[in-house]
Amino acid sequence: MDHSEVIIIGGSYAGLSAAMALGRSLRSVRIIDNGKPCNRFTPFSHNFLLGDGVPPAQLREEARRQVAAYSTITWTNATVTSVTGVNGNFIVNTHEGDFAAGKILFATGVYDELSKPEGLEACWGKSVLHCPYCHGYEVKGRLTGILASGPAAFEMSRLLFQWTKKLILLTDGGPEPDAEQERLIRKHGIDIIHDKVIRLHHDNGRLHGVEFANGQVLPLEVMYTHAPKRQHCPAPEQLGCQLDDTGMLVVNDFQETTVKGVYAAGDNCNPMRSVSLAVSAGSRAGALINRALVEESFI
């Protein structure tokens, strides 16, 4: 069975960044990736220095080309089905075969639940957005909806007010902001609609209206929401890695999960989802994994 010092599960920004750090440290690394990055729905990446406005697939392809220059790094196209073992002796199972490694890095991201309302998946990353830092500049000043309820409704309302004053809060029949939060929202001219949203009207992902359960349609150009999410790969949980209350993998200051020898980087352990942060986390994880290997061998 092939044995690497490190197996990286997930070959997008965090995984590739970690691989580069480890490859430059002369470590044998295998990247296992299934070709389904979290931001594959988004046509352009923004707020990433030297890559602002570049399609995500183009960024990944260039990153993969650069990582491939390091001879100790191997790429495998496969989906991981399970991971077993302990620090120093992990086995990664895939439909393409089994692989062994001393350390594991999960750079697997999260999976967005996009089934409701109807049309959400088609608009996701194009005109229905999750992050104003990533996309807000391109849609500044447009008629914008906020699909959120409870405390998140207030937080998103006051944040997005920086990018556009044409805001409408859609609570989708969920918990309403408290009285003081609602007062502040309305004070800034933000309307609130509590009806249930059932459908997004769009042209090839370009939003032009939101339909409510009562049949009324509200014209909108842009909408922000936080879609429910879960871990993209079930293997960390199966291995015993702890999740926090929001479903993120718990890591310490060294990017290590609660299982010795198992690390995580990127969207699977950080709710602030962006290319720049994923690249940073991957580079950090790669350096810290190398440090752990050095400490274990230099005795």
> 146 with 225: CB under 8 angstroms?
yes
Q: Which of 103, 29, 100 is nearest to 261 (CA)?
A: 103
Give the predicted TM-score (pTM) of the model.
0.92
Mean pLDDT of the region 236-260: 96
Helix (H) / strand (E) containing 183:
helix 179-187
CA distances from 219 to 138, 154, 186, 197 (A): 19, 22, 20, 13
Tell whether the model's pLDDT for residue 38 goes beyond 80.
no
Question: pLDDT for 59-105, tens place per residue?
Answer: 899 999 999 999 999 999 999 999 999 999 999 999 989 999 999 99
Position 282 scores a pLDDT of 97
Position 33 scores a pLDDT of 95
The CATH classification of domain 3-112+228-297, taken from the options 3.50.50.60, 3.40.50.300, 1.20.140.10, 2.60.40.10: 3.50.50.60
Position 1 scores a pLDDT of 79
Position 126 scores a pLDDT of 94
Specify the CATH superfamily of domain 120-225. FAD/NAD(P)-binding domain (3.50.50.60)
Q: Which of 54, 23, 33 is nearest to 266 (CA)?
A: 33
Position 37 scores a pLDDT of 74
Angle at the Cα of 77 (from 89 to 40), degrees rounded to 5? 115
What's at 80, amino acid-wise? V
Tell whether the model's pLDDT for residue 159 goes beyond 80.
yes
> 279 with 13: CB under 8 angstroms?
yes
Position 36 scores a pLDDT of 77
pLDDT band at 110 (very low <50, low <70, confident <90, very high): very high
Mean pLDDT of the region 137-162: 96
Question: pLDDT for 207-244, tens place per residue?
Answer: 999 999 999 999 999 999 999 999 999 999 999 999 99
Domain with CATH 3.50.50.60 in the chain: 3-112+228-297, 120-225
